[in-house]
Amino acid sequence: MTQLSSTAARQPLAEGAPVPTFAVISGTHVQQALSGREKQIVELVEATYRLHGAGDSVNPPSYFLRFPDRPSARIIALPASVGGSVHVDGMKWISSFPDNVRAGLPRASAVLILNDPRTGYPFACLESSIISATRTAASAALAADWLSRDRSRPTRIGFFGTGLIARYIHTFLAGTDWTFDTIGVHDLSAESTTGFCGYLRQAGTTAEIVVHDSAEDLIRSSDLVVFATIAGEPHISSPAWFDHNPLVLHISLRDLSPEVLLASANFVDDVEHCLKAGTSPHLVEQCTGNRDFLNGTLNDVMLGRAAPPPDRPVIFSPFGLGVLDLAVGKYVYDEAAVAGNLRLIDDFFHDLRRFG
């Protein structure tokens, strides 16, 4: 294995065809490429949403690998292609094994493969749990900004679920100049709650940190609510808890009952993706037989084609698009190349001569 500089990444053949290379980027170098770049990544995610909305992407349905003997576990494939200045194909392969938590391991692990759109050859494999969390948090911060522009900017945030995704979302909100008077915290795990509160203090927040024993108290006391749980089915069913019309980042997608969504304004990242796989929006469609409850996509809001009303709860339910992983992954690749942190796997492609 050798280090690969940005100039050595693509040495052409004599005939002009690129020599396929394959690099591995570790989680350490992924973190180095992304740390402190919250504003740049949010801008990148916004640009990618716009490319996707304009049709300059391919983002087929995610594919779920499930196991009869391990019903709580799954591995998801997110193939995608994105154009524009990103111009890359690839796939994220991400697992969710909730039992890992009891063993002291994170629930999710992932890799991202980047493919050269000219040849189809894969040219990089990146540790992707950080990339996945980053694009999720950047999307959440972007939505919080756009969906609150015609409303009072939230000053009281509540986190329902206090794992890695909640931590990344707070980091991205703080990194894009959000400040809060209070930060509410609620989790079924006391250990997770304690750990998240410790992170908040280490992050230097000046907000008052309030731990809520009940979900209702957290929601009623927050004007920005972040759901970042591992819920497989709705567990919040009272629209009355949202009578104060908060902005809700429904990141975990399956927390809210159809009754809550039907009493709210609803925005998604992609309609076809969100109305699948038993998500809360999918359940609403099944109950009503239509999609009239949807107000639009985040891209519609950015283009001025839809606007969140000030007199209803506003819920953003993002399925999570593979094109975002590709955009952030290509950003990491380019940054790692400039820093000389691409690790080339020598002779990864063994036979490159068509006729031997």
pLDDT (tens, 9 = 90+) of the chain, 356 residues, equals: 555 444 334 444 445 566 789 999 999 999 999 999 999 999 999 999 999 999 999 999 999 999 999 998 999 999 999 999 999 999 999 999 988 888 888 888 999 999 999 999 999 999 999 999 999 999 999 999 999 998 889 999 999 999 999 999 999 999 999 999 999 999 999 999 999 999 999 999 999 999 999 999 999 999 999 999 989 899 999 999 999 999 999 999 999 999 999 999 999 999 999 999 899 999 999 999 999 999 999 999 999 999 999 999 999 999 999 999 999 999 999 999 999 999 999 889 888 777 76
pLDDT at 1: 52
Q: What are phi and psi of 277, to 5 degrees?
A: 60, 30
C-alpha 270/C-alpha 169 separation (Å) is 20
Helices 322-338 and 27-34: angle between axes, nearest 10 degrees: 90
**Domain 2-131+322-344, CATH 3.30.1780.10 — does that match?**
yes
pLDDT at 13: 45
Four-point Cα dihedral 168, 170, 174, 175, nearest 10: 10
Beta partners for residue 297, in sequence order: 268
Give CATH for domain 136-317: 3.40.50.720
Give me the residue spans of the domains in the chain.
2-131+322-344, 136-317
Nearest Cα to 299, choosing from 278, 321, 284?
A: 321
pLDDT at 287: 96
pLDDT at 18: 64
- DSSP 8-class letter at 217: H
pLDDT at 16: 56
Token pair of 342, please? 């691409």
Nearest Cα to 26, choosing from 167, 131, 116?
A: 131
C-alpha 343/C-alpha 212 separation (Å) is 46
pLDDT at 98: 86
Nearest Cα to 248, choosing from 273, 271, 220?
A: 220
pLDDT at 176: 97
Query: How many Å is the Cα radius of gyration of the chain?
Result: 21
pLDDT at 15: 56
pLDDT at 356: 62
pLDDT at 266: 98
Same CATH fold, 136-317 and 2-131+322-344? no
C-alpha 195/C-alpha 134 separation (Å) is 20
